[in-house]
Amino acid sequence: MTKAKACLSIDGYQNYEVLPDAKLTADEKLLVYYEPLNYKAVVKDGKFVVHMTQDGQIRRKGEKAVLRSKKNLLDFEDKREDGFEWVFLRNSVALKGLPPGEYEYDIILRDEQNPGASATQSLSFRIVAAAVPSEKDRRDSARGRDR
């Protein structure tokens, strides 16, 4: 698979906005884009079919202990009459409850049309503390409610 990217948005094949420094708060979701490579398409009922499944897990950077994991986070199947030139996959991963720090998101992708074929990669990201509004911002917000 291609190198996974942490994104601000994903609008389609190779149409995404990268998240600067892969940095976000625990209230946000980690949005991930990647493209599988060398997958197998089989012909069923006159159409080409690809089928991939994916597990995801989060670890502290450099550690082996898994903090969170989700089996079959993604189950992608597509059928096309003229074959496949490209496929992209995306994940949206909740981070709620994770403290600030450096983490890795492991992608374990399986090609269901080719039993035993799998690929794994890790995407580094950082959780930062949510910005605390300044005293001026709190006053301005309170004034807005009084109007």
Share of the chain above pLDDT 70, in %: 90
Question: Where is 46: in which H helix or E strand?
Answer: none
Q: Which two tokens stand for residue 81?
A: 């009459």
Query: Does residue 80 contact residue 47 with C-beta atoms inside 8 Å?
Result: yes
| pTM, 2 dp | 0.84
Lowest mean pLDDT among 5-9, 11-15, 42-46, 130-134: 130-134
Tell me the C-alpha distance between 68 and 83, whole Å: 36
DSSP classification of residue 87: -
Rounded mean pLDDT, 80-107: 93
Strand bridging mode 29-34 / 23-24: unpaired
pLDDT at 145 over 60: no
Residue 97 or residue 85, greater confidence: 97
